[in-house]
């Protein structure tokens, strides 16, 4: 496995692989790798000839400098996981290799969806995400990129960006959320939770499960499902509900009736961390 810091050197390495006839599976990360990232690495290894990984904590997607400073970093452990899962190339750039002085980067517009949910809770977040993801794609070149479905709104916006900019040569693959035994979605932020917070954090998955069960039983009113999910999270002592919603999975816009493929999304703040989760809602019984 080769660790590369420079953007030009990383592009040379991926170009060399493609010139040799190899396909590139790309896993963009912010480090603090966990079992969810391991699943992305394994998906990339299964579907591509060479696996490339980026490890970069993107300062442009944080609206709170303290949150950026607290974000967990452990490059030694990250590299060990990448090596164990058969990564071929790891790009661990400094900020000036991602955003070099004098270079005008593309600024993809997240559009109205970028102001909803995570965008409303974290103003400017998705503009920063898309700016850096676009830059990562520019550097790595044509590839298949693997993203976790836990960050469903991010995945939607990245997919839409790639569809609009076909010259990037990138195919997006969404991979299922990896969960703890109690259903909590794996996240780098989970490590910040106290023991009591960790026990109560399962309320997000419980809320989504309750919403999904109602949908499976035939409930088609999205507002009813939202109320069920909000009640579960709101009744958890250490959780403060940020949002609960049901969205059209094709547009990520809110819907009132489950008459198409829909996704339930939730977010909650705990004293030590803010967590998000989502599930696709089941179709009504035949």
Torsion over CA: 11, 168, 37, 241 (sign): positive
What is the distance between the alpha carbons of residues 95 and 210, in angstroms, rounded to a whole number? Answer: 42
**Choice among 34, 37, 125, 134 that is catalytic:** 37
What is the distance between the alpha carbons of residues 103 and 95, in angstroms, rounded to a whole number? Answer: 13
Give 26's strand partners: 52, 145
Give 247's strand partners: 254, 263
The torsion angle over the Cα atoms of residues 9, 89, 131 and 7, rounded to 10 degrees, is -10
Which DSSP letter does residue 59 get?
A: G
**Cα angle 122-118-270, degrees, rounded to a multiple of 5:** 80
Q: What is the DSSP string of 183-235?
A: SPBP-GGGGGS-HHHHHHTTHHHHHHHHHHHHHHTT--BHHHHHHHHHHHHHT
The reply to whether 125 belongs to the active site is no
Q: 169 with 194: CB under 8 angstroms?
A: no
- CA separation, residue 105 to residues 98, 126, 128, 134, 144 (Å): 9, 15, 11, 9, 22
The residue to which tokens 């507002």 are assigned: 223
Active centre residues (catalytic): 37
């Amino acid at each position: 496995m080769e660790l590369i810091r420079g953007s030009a050197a990383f592009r040379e390495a991926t170009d060399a692989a493609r010139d040799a006839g190899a396909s590139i599976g790309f896993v963009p990360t912010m480090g603090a790798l966990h079992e969810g990232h391991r699943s992305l690495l394994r998906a990339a290894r299964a579907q591509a000839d060479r696996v490339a990984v980026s490890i970069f904590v993107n300062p442009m997607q944080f609206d709170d400098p303290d949150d950026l400073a607290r974000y967990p970093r452990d490059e030694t452990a990250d590299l060990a996981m990448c090596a164990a899962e058969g990564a071929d190339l790891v790009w661990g750039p400094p900020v000036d290799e991602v955003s070099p002085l004098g270079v005008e980067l593309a600024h993809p517009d997240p559009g109205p969806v970028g102001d909803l949910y995570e965008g409303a809770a974290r103003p400017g977040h998705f503009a920063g995400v898309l700016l850096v993801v676009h830059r990562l794609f520019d550097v790595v070149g044509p590839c298949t990129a693997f993203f976790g479905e836990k960050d469903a709104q991010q995945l939607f916006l990245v997919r839409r960006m790639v569809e609009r900019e076909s010259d990037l040569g990138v195919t997006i693959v969404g991979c299922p959320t990896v969960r703890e035994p109690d259903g909590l979605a794996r996240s780098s932020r989970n490590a910040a939770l106290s023991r009591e917070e960790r026990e109560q954090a399962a309320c997000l998955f419980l809320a989504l499960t309750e919403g999904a069960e109602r949908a499976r039983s035939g409930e088609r009113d999205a507002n009813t499902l939202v109320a069920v999910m909000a009640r579960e999270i709101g009744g958890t002592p250490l959780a403060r509900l940020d949002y609960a919603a049901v969205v059209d999975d094709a547009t990520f816009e809110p819907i009132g009736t489950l008459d198409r493929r829909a996704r339930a999304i939730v977010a909650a703040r705990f004293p030590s961390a803010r967590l998000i989760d989502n599930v696709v809602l089941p179709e009504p019984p035949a």
